[in-house]
Amino acid sequence: MQKLKQFLKGKIEDRLRPMIEGVSIHDNSFITGKFLPLNTSTTNYVVKLENSAGEVLPVPPKELWEGYAETVEEYLEGGRKDIATMLTILGNAGASSQTLTKVLDLGCAAGRMLRHYPSVKGAELWGSDINAKYINWCQQSFGDPFFFVTNSTSPHLPFEDNYFDLVYCGSVFTHITDMSDAWFLEIKRILRKGGYAYITIHDQHTLDVMFTKYKDYPLFQDFVTDVRQFYDRHVIGADGYAYFAMHSDPISQVFYNRDFLLKKWSRFANVISVIPEAHDHQTAILLQKPLG
């Protein structure tokens, strides 16, 4: 629970920091190709070589943890747990990391989860993120079989069709509003036939957990209060909703109507499983690209 509180507090602060520093373009809903650049103060700068990839993966500096933990042990254990949960869900569907060897962690941050993905000979473990600081650190710190690339909030990824066995997105679609369907179809494009997408979302179960189990925890209380007030004021009286969102991408907090979302996505991919609280308070959806 402490990890969840720290994560939410850190996640919001890290996403807001570029705007606090004056990069207000990230709060513009009309611009979809946003990202967090390596340097926000000048266009003239040098990217120093600070790390060299070795046999033991280094731990990123704490400012790149996105609030997931307070100690190195918590940081490493959190990523290990989330990967283990995903692999269990994949295993229940008959899939294995031994055959899912071309993998993309979309929204990888500093490789918190990706570093724990089991590697086999010939594997390609890719990470992408809108924060160039994370990608720069990963590129200098992780060697083979890891690869990293910066992307933007525009629904495009620099990979060919049918390339990956698995694309996973931990706490990414929780920050995508209008472009979620386009992002889902982009993920489908780069998956091979029979490949898997593992996506976590905020849904009604997330709200139920927030409004009960988490509502009295001090570090979580402000966030829950804000969501509860918005929900009571704008959502309860509405005649159903597809999703509701607070703030602008990429710092939005998005809560989906899971049934509506799955009805849309199931027209393009097979829904294999839906697991509440698989990624802390988030629900995990496992989908498979059709073979035909």
Question: Judging by DSSP bridges, how do beta strands 124-129 and 243-246 pair with one another?
Answer: unpaired
Task: Pick the closest to residue 53 from 139, 114, 131, 127 (CA basis).
Answer: 139
Cβ atoms of 90 and 195 closer than 8 Å: no
Residue 54 has pLDDT above 90, yes or no: no
**Cis ω for the linkage preceding 145 (within 30 of 0):** yes
Average pLDDT over residues 11-30: 57
Q: What is the pLDDT of residue 18?
A: 45
Residue 278 has pLDDT above 70, yes or no: yes
Q: Is 217 within a domain?
A: no
CA pair distance 231, 233, nearest whole angstrom: 6
Q: Is 17 within a domain?
A: yes
CA pair distance 206, 227, nearest whole angstrom: 11
Q: Is 52 within a domain?
A: yes
Bridge partners, 11 (sequence order): none
Q: Is 122 within a domain?
A: yes
C-alpha atoms less than 13 angstroms from C-alpha of 45 in its C-beta half-sphere: 9
pLDDT tens digits, residue range 199-247? 999 999 999 999 998 877 766 788 899 999 999 999 987 778 999 999 8
State the total domains in the chain: 1
Q: Is 38 within a domain?
A: yes
Q: Is 226 within a domain?
A: no
Band of residue 10 on the pLDDT scale cut at 50, 70, 90: low
Band of residue 20 on the pLDDT scale cut at 50, 70, 90: very low
Q: Is 236 within a domain?
A: no
Domain with 169, as residue range(s), is 2-204+248-288
pLDDT tens digits, residue range 164-178? 999 999 999 999 999
What lies within 8 Å, CB to CB, of 10 at 6+ separation is 65, 66, 67, 68
Q: Is 272 within a domain?
A: yes
CA pair distance 132, 274, nearest whole angstrom: 32
Q: What is the pLDDT of residue 100?
A: 98
Q: Torsions phi, psi of 111, nearest 5?
A: 80, 25
CA pair distance 81, 85, nearest whole angstrom: 6
Q: Give the domain CATH number at 171.
A: 3.40.50.150
- Specify the 3-state DSSP secondary structure of 76: helix
CA pair distance 58, 16, nearest whole angstrom: 27
Task: Pick the closest to residue 271 from 254, 252, 258 (CA basis).
Answer: 258
Q: What is the pLDDT of residue 21?
A: 46
Q: What is the pLDDT of residue 161?
A: 98
Provide the mean pLDDT of the chain: 89
CA pair distance 15, 157, nearest whole angstrom: 21
Q: What is the pLDDT of residue 47?
A: 87
Q: In Å, how far are 98, 154, 160, 264 from 135, measured between CA atoms?
A: 26, 17, 20, 32
The DSSP string of 251-266 is: S-EEEE-HHHHHHHHT
Q: What is the pLDDT of residue 77?
A: 96
**Global pTM exceeds 0.75:** yes
More confident residue, 246 or 50: 246
Return the ∠ at Cα 78 (arms to 261 and 101), rounded to 5°: 70
Band of residue 22 on the pLDDT scale cut at 50, 70, 90: very low
Q: What is the pLDDT of residue 16?
A: 47
The answer to whether the Cα torsion of 210, 214, 216, 221 is positive or negative is negative
Q: What is the pLDDT of residue 292?
A: 82
pLDDT tens digits, residue range 65-95? 887 888 999 999 999 999 999 999 999 999 9
More confident residue, 215 or 53: 215
Residue 44 has pLDDT above 60, yes or no: yes
CA pair distance 82, 85, nearest whole angstrom: 5
